[in-house]
Amino acid sequence: MDILSIESSCDETSAAVVRNGREVLSNVIETQIPIHIQYGGVVPEIASRNHLLKISSVVDEALNKAGITIDDVDKIAVTYGPGLVGALLVGVNYAKGLAYATGKPLVPVNHLLGHLSSPLITYKDLKPPYMSLVVSGGHTYLAKVLDYTTVEIVGETRDDAIGEAYDKVARTLGFTYPGGPKIDKAAKIGDKNKVTFPRVYLEKDSLDFSFSGIKSAVLNYLNSAKMKGEEVNPDDVSASFQEAVLEVLVEKSIRAMEIYDYNKIVIAGGVAANTRIRDMFDKKSKELGIEVYYPDFEYCTDNAAMIGCAAYFLPSIENPLSLNANPGLKL
């Protein structure tokens, strides 16, 4: 089963060919980061226009790299939400057109289920059930993965997503978009004990998160240091911020595993590329004997391979032309 998959929910135009849900024959990612960097974040209208410019060549390249033609493809899969509506529509309409013209089945895929499926590419024997932590620019979820397509949320952010917190704090420190990787790098040389930022656990036993307070805490720290004429070291602030948010993420993940009696956890989404989150989970894995799975770095941030992987287990829709983008789609 060869699936041609398309992803355009944010600022990556991507197409992939995935065989039997696990073997990636090609995964072409055309990132728009250099375009959005000057605005400090993704500009939706510019994102849609650039998806439109690139989508056709990205799909052709994915087929070429896989060494197949559109005739050899068994199904077409596409991200239909959540994401930026204009960006999603480019991929959705392209996939609909392709499905209609070729008569191939069309499989709509939830972007978040795509992220959750990304470790399956790396770990060929990994099978649900497992606990999962989805940490991306737009989402933060703790969810039980019951089987390949059934997910039950047990905790989520009540305000900002974790990646959003990284990006916002990075901006206040003068780092360019996307800030996550820059904070990750700066934190390696910074002192994580320099500033004690609040750890937000919410109510006792809650598996929910809140990350909007920490950006104000960082901003307050920067302003008060400025007023006192103290020098601020962005590496130390990065390390201290990161420690505060990741400590909560890891603690709550472990708590969720204990409550629901899971021994395996999958970490997915852009922030799963973070080196400190991996260190922390690896330490817990040794201490507690739990199994922790991450996607390869290539499959952490947005890519079409994870969409093709998820699509393998999902049904196609009867009438491809009926598909619409759903920007607020839930996990």
> Footprint of Zn ion on this chain (CB under 5 A)?
136, 302
Tell me which residue has tokens 């355009």: 8
* Cα 94 from Cα 52, distance rounded (Å): 9
Decide: 44 and 56 in contact? Cβ < 8 Å: no
Nearer Cβ to ligand KG4 (157/301): 301
Closest distance of CB 138 from ligand KG4, Å:
4
Report what 163 binds from Zn ion, ligand KG4, none; CB cut-off 5-8 Å by kind: ligand KG4
The yes or no reply on residue 138 touching ligand KG4 (CB under 6 A) is: yes
Within 22-51, the residues that bind ligand KG4 by CB under 6 A are none
How do the residues of the chain divide into helix, strand and coil, expressed in percent and rounded to 5?
Answer: 50, 20, 30
* Cα 24 from Cα 309, distance rounded (Å): 8
The yes or no reply on residue 179 touching ligand KG4 (CB under 6 A) is: yes
Decide: 17 and 61 in contact? Cβ < 8 Å: no
Nearer Cβ to ligand KG4 (108/179): 179
Secondary structure (H, E, C), 101-145: HHCCCEEEEEHHHHHHHCHHHHCCCCCCCEEEEEECCCCEEEEEE
Report what 27 binds from Zn ion, ligand KG4, none; CB cut-off 5-8 Å by kind: none
The yes or no reply on residue 163 touching ligand KG4 (CB under 6 A) is: yes
Strand partners, 179: none
Nearer Cβ to ligand KG4 (167/236): 167
Task: For 146, list phi and psi in degrees, rounded to 5.
Answer: -85, -45
Report what 129 binds from ligand KG4, Zn ion, none; CB cut-off 5-8 Å by kind: none
Nearer Cβ to ligand KG4 (38/69): 38
Within 251-310, the residues that bind ligand KG4 by CB under 6 A are 269-271, 273-274, 301-302
User: Segment contacting ligand KG4 (CB under 6 A): 122-130, 135-143, 310-318, 321-329?
Assistant: 135-143
* Cα 70 from Cα 77, distance rounded (Å): 13
* Residues at the contact surface with ligand KG4, assessed by CB under 6 A: 10, 136-138, 163, 166-167, 178-181, 184, 269-271, 273-274, 301-302
